[in-house]
Structure 1
């Protein structure tokens, strides 16, 4: 990887770049990321002003290597535990490379992919039958009569044949080969780069990263390739540049960057925490759209909707009834300041739409490094209570399993 000028900023922070530091291709890429809400790029008389939003990771440009650091300091192993938890992917218990380093998420995800690929190589890569055409001295498979007549002009000393050959050059392995090569362009750690380069030779690459992504979207897992699921999850994250369908972004970015949208990642964590906590109590998650959605009609323009990040159906003790509990994930430092008026209004709308009329309640779940907290907001009007909002601060230094216990005990 050629030497690039490294720029480090934090979430919501900004920096200045000289006019010569960004090429026209860089400006186009940053403009596409701005359209997705990842960052803001503005030109001035002397250069560029670049501001990060709630996005962290690494972006490798032509002349600049941009590192966006998270506002919540999380050790590397814990970070991977939470990311794997959100993705529903098991992680190796002996991930030796997951120490928090100066390169942040990009090296951590690359190391996770490396661990899974090394495991697959040790177990033996999956092989399948692939149709091949070759020129052979004897008939193997089926004779390609058209090729024999047009290319050999009737000569029979060598035959054009079509046969199925069992080999590792299949899509399950190609997507990993492509992802390993993308990871090589992102990492700045020499030891990690050496290991990635060494293992990449065992995996055939796809023609393009887009072809690999298309194959991942079409992949169906069976008992034959189920062991590839974890490696494919990390490969998808790298190939999409941080975007994962239905998790972080719809499309992600092109190869050359790994940017994670932290609010969407936290929403995925909270959805799984709440779903597992509700299941322990005999409840389950419900879709918050369609017939169970809160809609606004009759205004100018299109109809709008209020959708909580998670809607739980919980059993009422000693009855056959269930109550609905809306849960909203907030990627905010509500351990340092009070809940904003806009969020209170939003949660009261959820209370009115979903909760029981006699005990309307909702839950906010926010990250809090350094310990678990719980507080309750009572919202009252002249005629009585309007709703109860439970505010849970989940310790991001703890294990996800421990966080599930906190959420379960806090469910009203």
Structure 2
């Protein structure tokens, strides 16, 4: 297993195949991957995605440019989709040596599925059409007349039987089967295979559809954590748009970290759900710029940048000035929120012209080692009121 860091150019110690290069040429993927031949060999630069990249000759684990544990990335993922993270209530000991978040999600899925089996899988009444030697349930007169007319020992009946073949269990079975094929760790693949046979299953696409429509009530609430992990393993439901499309990357598991950070900041700031963007009219078209969060009329923009090590760029200052004057024209102000490996802190950039302050940009660094729910309370105290 090779490990590389996001936004670093890495010299690969294995050849890229034509299929790999063809994949990287796709217009969508070319934004995230830049392979380049050099005198020493092929290099690869990865931008704004993290996770597991499966190539023909090797698997690459891509880690964030800002050190974030796989555990914390999973916290972010569920927090970003407005779900209580299923590991927040209990400390897990990850058994997967050196695993990154894709395999950690598989490990958690296995744990939750074992718990479901231990407590017995939920059953519910499902309709079924069968042929029986005696009436059980309700006689299907139409089928009997057209298929078994006069055969009194072969009766078409419609029954409602309690069965484990329900969507809650099928989703888990499909996720386990998928994990058995895609997990990087061979032990996890074997464990997933052994566990999958104990669950009813459905196709992967049917499971993704079920997760997109899923609901939980008092009858199936104990499945919520398993389904949350199944979403990550299958890249389905509320997390689907935070991963690169399966049609492009196949069994690779690549999270668009910039999108995740924007969603996390949006929720941490307590932002309004709907934000009307700033429209800029040009001669032939109109462009719209929208901040990642809006707290009252205070624009907040999430930047997946290491602003602990360098100054805020002029481009970002210009963008925030646009927001500040659009949303707070009387006293222009805007906020940048960026990740940090240091305790959460704040400083202010005064933008001046001819000695007069024309706007203020507050720069808030958020400690990535602290769960987002805890950071939210601190962030909201640092936001100007």
Give the TM-score taking structure 2 as reference length: 0.86
1:127 matched to 2:127? The reply is no
CA contact (8 A) 1:365 1:394 kept: yes
The answer for the alignment partner of 2:278 in structure 1 is 294
Instruction: Answer with 49-58 or 118-127: which moved more.
Output: 118-127
Distance in 2, matches of 1:307 and 1:210, equals 33
CA distance 1:59–1:261, change in 2 (3 Å): same
Of residues 97, 103, 115, the one that matches 2:99 is 103
Q: CA deviation at 1:29?
A: 4.9
Distance in 2, matches of 1:342 and 1:100, equals 42
1:117 matched to 2:110? The reply is no
Q: CA deviation at 1:150?
A: 5.9
CA contact (8 A) 1:309 1:328 kept: yes
The answer for the alignment partner of 2:309 in structure 1 is 336
The answer for the alignment partner of 2:287 in structure 1 is 304
The answer for the alignment partner of 2:349 in structure 1 is 377
1:395 matched to 2:379? The reply is no
RMSD value over aligned CA atoms?
Answer: 3.2
Question: The residue matched to 1:229 in structure 2 has which SS?
Answer: helix
Of residues 241, 261, 264, the one that matches 2:259 is 264
Instruction: Answer with 138-147 or 31-40: which moved more.
Output: 31-40
| Cα deviation code 1:101-124 (max 9, x no counterpart) | 533111122123223323333343
Instruction: Answer with 227-236 or 381-390: which moved more.
Output: 227-236
CA distance 1:220–1:76, change in 2 (3 Å): closer
CA distance 1:21–1:252, change in 2 (3 Å): closer
Structure 1: give runs of 5+ residues left out of the alignment. Answer: 1-5, 276-283, 314-323
Question: The residue matched to 1:223 in structure 2 has which SS?
Answer: coil
CA distance 1:346–1:201, change in 2 (3 Å): same
Question: The residue matched to 2:239 in structure 1 has which SS?
Answer: coil
Q: What does 1:4-83 correspond to in 2, within 5 Å? A: 6-15=1-10, 21-22=16-17, 24=19, 26=20, 29-31=23-25, 34-35=28-29, 37-41=31-35, 50-83=44-77
Q: CA deviation at 1:264?
A: 0.8
| Cα deviation code 1:318-365 (max 9, x no counterpart) | xxxxxx1111111000000000000000000010011151x3211111
The answer for the alignment partner of 2:212 in structure 1 is 217
CA distance 1:48–1:164, change in 2 (3 Å): farther
The answer for the alignment partner of 1:278 in structure 2 is none
Distance in 1, matches of 2:229 and 2:25, equals 26
CA contact (8 A) 2:14 2:57 kept: no
CA contact (8 A) 2:24 2:30 kept: no
Q: CA deviation at 1:15?
A: 4.7
Of residues 201, 206, 228, the one that matches 2:202 is 206
Distance in 2, matches of 1:8 and 1:250, equals 19
CA contact (8 A) 2:170 2:201 kept: yes
Number of aligned pairs? 381
Q: CA deviation at 1:35?
A: 4.0
Distance in 2, matches of 1:241 and 1:309, equals 23
Distance in 1, matches of 2:172 and 2:141, equals 36
CA contact (8 A) 1:12 1:52 kept: yes
CA contact (8 A) 1:31 1:41 kept: no
Give the TM-score taking structure 1 as reference length: 0.81
1:94 matched to 2:90? The reply is yes
Question: The residue matched to 1:285 in structure 2 has which SS?
Answer: coil
Distance in 2, matches of 1:295 and 1:199, equals 53
